[in-house]
Structure 1
Amino acid sequence: MANFEEQLMALESVVEKLERGELSLDESVHLFEEGVKLSNACKKELEAAEGRIQVLVEQGRNAMRVVNLDVETSGEE
């Protein structure tokens, strides 16, 4: 599977092709489907990365503990 950056570049390429409006309906639908798959893959990758982000919190005498970073989402999908 491609990494996030490769998937994002592929998604940007799909969007550019669709925005040009030079494709047949069938080609446009096929590219749109590919774009949705790429978008979902990117979203999944971002969610996984968010889950791995951790913050070190100082606790007492130079002791540290690891806690998950709680990131709010915009709610847009």
Structure 2
Amino acid sequence: MTGKTVAEMSFEEAMAALESVVSQLERGEVALEQSISLYERGAALKAHCAAKLAEAEARVEVIRAQEGKAVGTAPAEGL
């Protein structure tokens, strides 16, 4: 563990921590109380990763708008 809070983690650090939490929970080798704590941490990590992705997407949209390109996302059906 890096000693950082979830809010201080980069996207990559949070994803690695989330993968570790999921792995521990999937093995089922932890006590009930620890499982609950891990689940809570996993939920916080997931929310942090989602926020970081949304932030990155917004930044890309700004860059694309500045370049005069279409902004926003659309489903890639038919590709």
- TM category (shorter chain) comes to 0.7 to 0.9
Higher share in strand: 1
Aligned length: 66
Give ranges in structure 2 of 5+ residues lacking alignment: 1-7
Deviations 1:25-75 (A, max 9, x none): 10000000000000000000000000011326xxxxxxx8445631248xx
Identity of aligned residues (%): 38
**Greater relative contact order (CA < 8 Å, ≥ 6 in sequence):** 2
Q: Which ranges of 4 or more aligned residues in structure 1 deviate by more than 2 Å?
A: 64-69
Higher share in helix: 2
Pick aligned residue for 1:10 from 2, 13, 17: 17
Name which one, 1 or 2, has greater alpha-carbon Rg.
1
Task: Supply the RMSD in Å over aligned alpha carbons.
Answer: 2.1
TM-score, normalisation: structure 2: 0.73
TM-score, normalisation: structure 1: 0.75
Partners of 2:41 and 2:70 lie apart in 1 by 33
SS in 2 for 1:32: helix
| Aligned counterpart, 2:39 | 32
